[in-house]
Amino acid sequence: MDFKIAVLAGDGIGPEISTVGVDVMTAVCEKFGHKVNYEYAICGADAIDKVGDPFPEATYEVCKNADAVLFSAVGDPKFDNDPTAKVRPEQGLLAMRKKLGLFANIRPVQTFKCLLHKSPLRAELVDGADFLCIRELTGGMYFGEKYQDNDKAYDTNMYTRPEIERILKVGFEYAMKRNKHLTVVDKANVLASSRLWRQIAQEMAPQYPEVTTDYMFVDNAAMKMIQEPKFFDVMVTENTFGDILTDEGSVISGSMGLLPSASTGESTPVFEPIHGSWPQAKGLNIANPLAQILSAAMLFEYFNLLEEGALIRKAVDASLDANVRTPEIQVEGGAKYGTKEVGAWVVDYIKRS
């Protein structure tokens, strides 16, 4: 297969982990006989500094014309600490999702046996936890009508039937591929938008008779993820709830540096780690690149290149088992590995396999 990949490194540790992701993808393509061409583009704070726009039109064109986007991270403290800033790096992320029609965020939550001790939860609770969070990505409060003055502010949480139906369809279809259990998360006891979600989910459920469908208020779902994370198989929810729950789920594994994600929809899919830009670590060669590497695995799997994705996952597991790890997950007394060194080890493993 010939790949045309848009590479958006972004801010903070983004460029460092992006380099590793590209190296891993290149190694896999060479091994399996795929051709790959990369086109690099700016986004986030880097793009604001250069052209005043966190997702400039030129970057959109690069993404639109690619087969997939390998994205890293955006964000910078100088914007976080300025509530009056009119342009922010994260607006570029929202613009990318909206312009590319990326309405479904697919975020796996899984644990690694050798890292169970790193989880904030007891090992017996998280051992074997493996579920998928599917978040609606282009509707709700993040994109609804907004207003703010010195005395009043509001964000409108609006959803339409087509928006809800298409994301629920994604949820049901992933459940069919996995353990046939879908949990629809809402706040139907309070919010009208959630009642529409639940109504439509109940209408669609009979179309998937093999799937056990249950419904859970978001506060209960948040508790259940901590008390019994192995209960879940596939979870689907709206934008704001999904943003919060997926971040909550991400720490179950013990490190945000381990989990990838995919954003899919009407146009070019985007594959990215779930962690942020961690600007404090910029240039220190300590950022964990495994989430970026696993994002490349999801990219191959999206195109049904399952053997390629499986090899990347095998390489990541092997690196963890060999204690080739960045500082935040390294065992006490273990050798010191940085971002570059972990990436090089994984690339070498792929080439030798």
What is the Cα–Cα distance from 342 to 322, expressed in whole angstroms?
11
The pLDDT tens digits for 199-257 are 999 999 999 999 999 999 999 999 999 999 999 999 999 999 999 999 899 889 888 78
Claim to verify: residue 224 and residue 124 sit in the same structural domain: yes
| pLDDT number for residue 181 | 98
Mean pLDDT of the region 321-349:
94
What is the Cα–Cα distance from 261 to 243, expressed in whole angstroms?
12
In a domain, residue 196? The reply is: yes
CATH number at residue 135: 3.40.718.10
11, 5, 99: which is closest to 276 by C-alpha? 11
In a domain, residue 242? The reply is: yes
Claim to verify: residue 166 and residue 120 sit in the same structural domain: yes
- Can you list the alpha helix ranges (DSSP code H) found in the chain? 14-32, 44-51, 57-64, 77-80, 89-100, 123-126, 161-177, 192-204, 218-227, 239-250, 290-302, 306-321, 339-352
Claim to verify: residue 129 and residue 218 sit in the same structural domain: yes
| Mean predicted lDDT score pLDDT of the chain | 95
Claim to verify: residue 296 and residue 333 sit in the same structural domain: yes
Claim to verify: residue 224 and residue 83 sit in the same structural domain: no
pTM for the whole thing? 0.89
Region of 254 on the Ramachandran plot (φ > 0 left; ψ -120 to 50 alpha; else beta): left
- 161 labeled binding residue: no
Residue range(s) defining the domain that contains residue 188: 105-255
- 122 labeled binding residue: no
Claim to verify: residue 114 and residue 246 sit in the same structural domain: yes
Active site residue 208: no
Is the confidence at residue 80, as pLDDT, over 80? no
Claim to verify: residue 133 and residue 65 sit in the same structural domain: no
Active site residue 247: yes
In a domain, residue 156? The reply is: yes
Active site residue 53: no
User: Among 118, 243, 302, 314, which one carries the catalytic annotation?
Assistant: 243
- 195 labeled binding residue: no
In a domain, residue 260? The reply is: no
Is the confidence at residue 25, as pLDDT, over 80? yes
Strand partners, 197: none
- Give the number of other CB atoms < 10 A from CB of residue 306: 11
Task: Copy the structure tokens of residue 77.
Answer: 């403290």
The pLDDT tens digits for 272-297 are 998 889 999 999 999 999 999 999 99
Active site residue 243: yes
Torsion of CA 269, 23, 293, 174, to 10 degrees: 30
Q: In sequence order, what are the residues at sequence separation of 6 or more whose Cβ sits closer than 8 angstroms to the Cβ of residue 218?
A: 185, 186, 187, 237, 241, 244, 245
- 243 labeled binding residue: yes
The pLDDT tens digits for 140-192 are 999 899 999 999 999 999 999 999 999 999 999 999 999 999 999 999 999 99
User: Among 80, 82, 214, 219, which one carries the catalytic annotation?
Assistant: 219
217, 194, 86: which is closest to 141 by C-alpha? 194
- 321 labeled binding residue: no
Task: Copy the structure tokens of residue 229.
Answer: 């994370």
User: Given 212, 229, 255, which residue is the final one in a domain?
Assistant: 255
What is the Cα–Cα distance from 118 to 309, expressed in whole angstroms?
25
Active site residue 187: yes
Mean pLDDT of the region 82-98:
86
